[in-house]
């Protein structure tokens, strides 16, 4: 039986998925919230926290998405007409959601679809995608075994001169789409997340620092261990042993985090 508190938390968590980023609260509610906030700041338990509300007799709505597949399908349909993104007028119309398995232990997050991805409506299918597939293969993983998504679900527009060129999403475009990827993470609950490039790290972790200064460490996204590494397109532009080694070291750390077997050959790839 779900409690009133659980139902309220679920309802509030789902609001961003419906494109609603704020809710109106009256003066009385504001005063209560302020009291709770001050109490939390001082480590004091509020009466509400000490005595959880009684279980609610009404069952949750039966049409609410239950399985991870249903949740993602629902999210995909919401993302299609994502008001916050459409309102910007700087993103193209085609929504590119995600690829891979909803039961993945590893989730990889890029920045935004490019020309090829928009055409095929699938993330990472262009040259950067091929590089990513190669990296995964070196780890002994197939694309179908992981979940691959992007911070921004629409290809950033280049304006009237649009050609095959791509650009990274702006801060506003990242912020507009962020609730979608956050909801995907909640639905999938992977064991480990990899931010492919600085844009993904800026969105998920709020980090504006360079990838070079973030890689080699563990962070957390919604409580999930998160690694930041270079974007595959960076490797295409800088095909140096240093860059390749850096990405491989991050991937070895990811394999270790996932308790995967690491062969001697894999361990010594760059030695």
Task: Give the residues lining the site for ligand URA (CB under 6 A).
Answer: 110-114, 117, 123-124, 126, 128-129, 150
Compare residues 57 and 165 and give the one whose CB is closer to ligand URA: 165
Compare residues 196 and 255 and give the one whose CB is closer to ligand URA: 196
Q: How far is the CB of 200 from ligand URA (least distance, A)?
A: 7
Dihedral sign, Cα of residue 131, residue 117, residue 20, residue 76: negative
Q: How far is the CB of 91 from ligand URA (least distance, A)?
A: 14
Cβ-closest position to ligand URA = 110
Q: How far is the CB of 110 from ligand URA (least distance, A)?
A: 3
For residue 201, give both structure tokens: 């790290």
Q: How far is the CB of 112 from ligand URA (least distance, A)?
A: 6
Q: How far, in Å, are 26, 34, 231 from residue 159 at the CA level?
A: 42, 44, 25
For residue 230, give both structure tokens: 């270079």
Compare residues 14 and 228 and give the one whose CB is closer to ligand URA: 228
Q: Taking a C-beta distance cutoff of 8 angstroms, is the pair 107, 149 a contact? A: yes
Compare residues 66 and 142 and give the one whose CB is closer to ligand URA: 142
Q: How far, in Å, are 1, 11, 33, 88 from residue 7 at the CA level?
A: 10, 6, 18, 32
Cβ neighbours around 213 below 10 Å, total? 10
Dihedral sign, Cα of residue 220, residue 154, residue 106, residue 76: positive
Task: Give strand pairing partners of 192.
Answer: 106
- How far does CA 267 lie from the centroid of its chain? 28
Q: How far is the CB of 151 from ligand URA (least distance, A)?
A: 8
Compare residues 70 and 145 and give the one whose CB is closer to ligand URA: 145
């Amino acid at each position: 039986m779900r409690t009133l508190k659980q139902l309220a938390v679920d309802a509030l968590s789902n609001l961003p998925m419906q494109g609603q980023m704020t809710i109106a609260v009256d003066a009385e509610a504001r005063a209560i919230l302020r009291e709770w906030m001050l109490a939390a700041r001082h480590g004091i338990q509020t009466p509400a926290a000490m005595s959880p509300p009684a279980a609610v007799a009404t069952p949750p709505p039966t049409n609410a998405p239950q399985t991870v597949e249903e949740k993602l399908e629902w999210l995909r349909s919401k993302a299609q007409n994502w008001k916050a993104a459409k309102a910007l007028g700087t993103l193209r119309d085609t929504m590119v959601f995600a690829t891979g398995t909803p039961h993945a232990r590893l989730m990889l997050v890029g920045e935004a679809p490019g020309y090829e991805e928009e055409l095929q409506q699938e993330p990472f299918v262009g040259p950067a995608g091929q590089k990513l597939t190669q990296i995964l293969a070196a780890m002994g993983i197939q694309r179908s075994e992981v979940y691959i998504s992007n911070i921004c679900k629409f290809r950033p527009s280049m304006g009237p001169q649009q050609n095959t060129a791509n650009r990274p999403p702006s801060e506003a475009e990242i912020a507009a789409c962020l609730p979608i990827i956050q909801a995907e993470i909640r639905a999938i609950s992977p064991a480990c997340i990899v931010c492919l490039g600085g844009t993904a790290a800026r969105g998920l972790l709020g980090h504006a620092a360079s990838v070079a200064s973030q890689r080699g460490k563990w962070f957390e996204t919604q409580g999930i261990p998160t690694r930041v590494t270079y974007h595959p397109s960076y490797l295409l532009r800088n095909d140096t042993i240093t860059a390749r080694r850096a990405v491989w070291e991050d991937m070895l750390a990811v394999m270790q985090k996932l308790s995967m077997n690491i062969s001697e050959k894999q361990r010594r790839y760059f030695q």
